[in-house]
Amino acid sequence: RLVDLFAQQKILLNDPARDRLIRKVATETEGFVGSDLEALAREAAMLAMREGAAVVKPSHFENAQEKVHATMNERLRQYYGKVQQHFKGGLPKDIQPPEYQ
């Protein structure tokens, strides 16, 4: 999750409001991939521009989430799990990652 990555990298933002916004978005976007987050930010910015707002506010992100949805869902996770199982064992045992053995 994005929040965990921020904590691991010890990324600190000087703007507390921005920090709260990023944490809020990160906790509400489970299953979002990079392109989903990009689309969410772009949609929030477009909503702010349409309003004539000088900054993108949390409400813009909330409204954008009604239009932008996560790509990764349980069905897709299961599909990728099946693909992984299908190709499991394709590499010689001595170079396979432990999770494939």
User: What's the pLDDT tens digit per position in 38-48?
Assistant: 999 999 999 99
* Contact between 3 and 27 (Cβ < 8 Å): yes
pLDDT(49) > 90: yes
Can you tell me the distance from the alpha carbon of 101 to that of 96, in angstroms, rounded to the nearest whole number?
7
Percentage of residues in the chain with pLDDT exceeding 70?
Answer: 80
Residue extents of the structural domains in the chain: 2-70, 73-101
pLDDT(14) > 70: no
How many C-beta atoms lie closer than 10 Å to residue 26's C-beta? 17
Distant-in-sequence, close-in-space partners of 65: CB < 8 Å, separation ≥ 6 = 28, 29, 40
pTM of the model: 0.63
The CATH architecture assigned to 2-70 reads Orthogonal Bundle (1.10)
Token pair for residue 97?
Answer: 């990652």
